[in-house]
Chain A
Amino acid sequence: MEKKKMTFEQALDALEKCAEKLRDEEVPLEEAIKYFEEGLVHYKNCTEILSSAKQKIETYKE
């Protein structure tokens, strides 16, 4: 897994992909574990971003 910081959209996409892969009953156990672990990482990233609540409001006036 690349360690580069993902954007929220990328992390959410990746999380969704993991969920889809895991929904497949035929997925081999090793892969399932991989997707599960990846999914947890993406889930953590997503919730971290969504919980950041760091909104700034500024005004630009010439």
Chain B
Amino acid sequence: MAGKPITVSQLNNYIKRVLGTDPMLYNISVVGEISGFKRHTSGHVYFTLKDQNSRINCFLSSYNLSAVDFMPEDGMQVILMGQISVYEPGGYYNINVSKMEMAGSGDLAAAFQKLKEKLEKEGLFLEKHKKPLPFFPMKVAVITSETGAAIKDILSIIQNRNNICDILLCPCLVQGENAPADIRKAIENVNTLFPKTDVIILGRGGGSIEDLWAFNEEIVARAIFASKIPIISAVGHETDFTISDMVADKRAETPTAAAVMAVPDVAELKASVARYKSIIDNSMNSIIANHNLRMKSYDIHSLYSILQGRISLLGMEVERLKLQSKRDVDDRLSGNQMRIDELYNALDIKHRLDIYGMKTENLIIALQERTEACLNSKNRRVLAALESLKDLSPYAIMERGYAAVLDKFGKAVNTVKMLEPEDALTIVFKDGRAAAKVSSIKEN
């Protein structure tokens, strides 16, 4: 028998004192994996740290949590610093954590922090550089591992939502040494070889911080920033934050979420298009119904009589125009008749002229005949006269010894008054001429 029994309270109090005064347990450093991570509404955090064989409860106050530069989560390997404390009423002990670091990846965490600060300073995370995602992409490129779960999720989500948008799969390494360069190459290839791509989904499924590390590399960050095509970054789970997420135009919590973000749901779009169509139809119907109603409220009879008045006015006008045009036609017809008459008359004159012409010709013939007859009788008389005249001719006189005297102009001289002394004269005889000169003049 081991002595006198003590109470539970006494026992727990004793254990607390022993553990609380042990210098080893007062300031310990423990490495393990977080599980059962729970954040209380007070802001304090409760979780279990475990290894392959054992586990220990941990408590992290909200004050000490704020000093941790990463978001702890289940599965993380961490190094805790703190002291063992005993909860007397519950009879259990835990680690009261004062500091937490990522185990093994302390260097990574530091590198992450450094790169984040550097790129932030350069402005790579600024909202103004974020390109909007297209509302209705025609081509989506998916840059991820060929074998992971992500590619299947993304494909099935896109195909479920959208059967129009083309999908370009660009398999690449997403973890390991060569992953960053491979990812960069894929982003560049899509930009240069498929520039018509509307949006790129870049990502991978969940994994340890080392698994996701490629997405924290600078060359990947810069390739994302340089992309002309908007990029949705979807790396790991909701709680994984990578540099890629910060540089990308949009961060999706998971690859599945990225697929939802990238393409619209065609069925939903069809529904909203149909909704607009029915709004248009209904609105048009009601507008027409309204107008119908308003039209009916107008006085149809007065409209009718106004129209009647206008119609009869128009009828009168038509009659007037008819008359007028008839008159015009008549005028022109009578004008034409007059010309016809004139022409007809003109034709008559010609006819008459013809008759006159004939008459004239007859007269001329008669005249000619008579003239000829007349001339013939006259001729006979002239011949007789000529015979009798022969004896009276100057030549007959000249036979008897007379001569004619002509002055220098060839004019017959019948008086001495025409002559001057020394005038040249021509004396004409029956058988020739003689030149003479006036030597003297003596009047009788």
- The answer to whether B283 and A19 touch across the interface, beta carbons within 8 angstroms, is yes
Residue B167 CB within 8 A of the other chain: yes
Task: Offer 11 A-B interface pairs, CB within 8 angstroms, sorted by A.
Answer: A7-B136, A12-B269, A15-B276, A16-B276, A19-B279, A39-B276, A55-B167, A56-B166, A58-B169, A60-B170, A60-B193
For A47, what are the chain B residues with a Cβ–Cβ distance below 8 Å?
270, 273
Those of B119-155 within 8 Å (CB) of chain A: 134-136, 155
**CB <8 Å contact, A22 and B270:** no
Bound CA–CA A36/B282 (angstroms): 10
Q: Interface stretch among B157-165, B342-350, B385-393? A: B157-165
**Cα distance, A15 to B270, chains bound together (Å):** 13
Q: Are A62 and B185 in contact (CB-based, < 8 A)?
A: yes
**Cα distance A50–B287 in the bound complex, in angstroms:** 29
Majority SS of interface residues in chain B? Answer: helix
| B 184-216 to A, binary, CB cutoff 8 A, 1 in contact else 0 | 010001100110000000000000000000000
Could you say which of A9, A35, A55 contacts B166, with CB atoms under 8 Å apart? A55
**With a CB–CB cut-off of 8 A, which chain B residues contact A12?**
136, 269, 272-273, 276
Q: Say yes or no: is A5 at the interface (Cβ < 8 Å to chain B).
A: no
C-alpha spacing A16/B164, complex, angstroms: 21
Which residues of A1-57 have CB atoms within 8 Å of chain B's CB atoms?
A: 7-9, 12, 15-16, 18-19, 22-23, 25, 27, 29, 32-33, 35-36, 39-40, 43, 46-47, 49-50, 52-57
Contacts of A60 in B (CB 8 A): 168-170, 189-190, 193-194
CB pair A55–B159 under 8 Å, yes or no, is yes
Cα distance A29–B185 in the bound complex, in angstroms: 59
Chain A residues within an 8 Å CB radius of B325: none
Give chain A's interface residues, CB within 8 Å of chain B.
7-9, 12, 15-16, 18-19, 22-23, 25, 27, 29, 32-33, 35-36, 39-40, 43, 46-47, 49-50, 52-62
Chain B: how many interface residues by the 8 Å CB criterion? 35
Q: Inside 8 A of B164's CB, which chain A residues have their CB?
A: 49-50, 52-55
Chain A-chain B contacts (Cβ-Cβ < 8 Å), number = 99
Taken together as a complex, chains A and B put the C-alpha atoms of A15 and B164 apart, in Å, by 20
Residues 266 to 311 of chain B near chain A (Cβ within 8 Å): 266, 269-270, 272-273, 276-277, 279-280, 283-284, 286-287, 290-291
Give the top 7 A-B pairs by smallest Cβ distance, nearest first: A22-B283, A19-B279, A39-B280, A8-B136, A59-B169, A46-B273, A53-B163
Q: In the assembled complex, which residues on chain B have CB atoms less than 8 Å from the CB atom of A25?
A: 286-287, 290
In this complex, what residue of B is CB-closest to A15? Answer: B276
Asked if A19 and B276 sit within 8 Å, CB to CB, the answer is yes
Chain B residue nearest to A39 (CB atoms) is B280
Assess whether B167 is in contact with A57, with CB atoms less than 8 Å apart. yes
Verify A50–B135 contact, CB threshold 8 A: no
- Tell yes or no: B171 within 8 A of A by CB: yes
Q: Which residues of B contact A54 (CB under 8 A)?
A: 164
8 Å CB contacts to A: which residues of B225-260? none
B276 lies within 8 A of A43 (CB): yes
The closest CB in chain B to the CB of A31 belongs to B287
Contact with A along B85-125 (1 / 0, CB 8 A): 00000000000000000000000000000000000000000
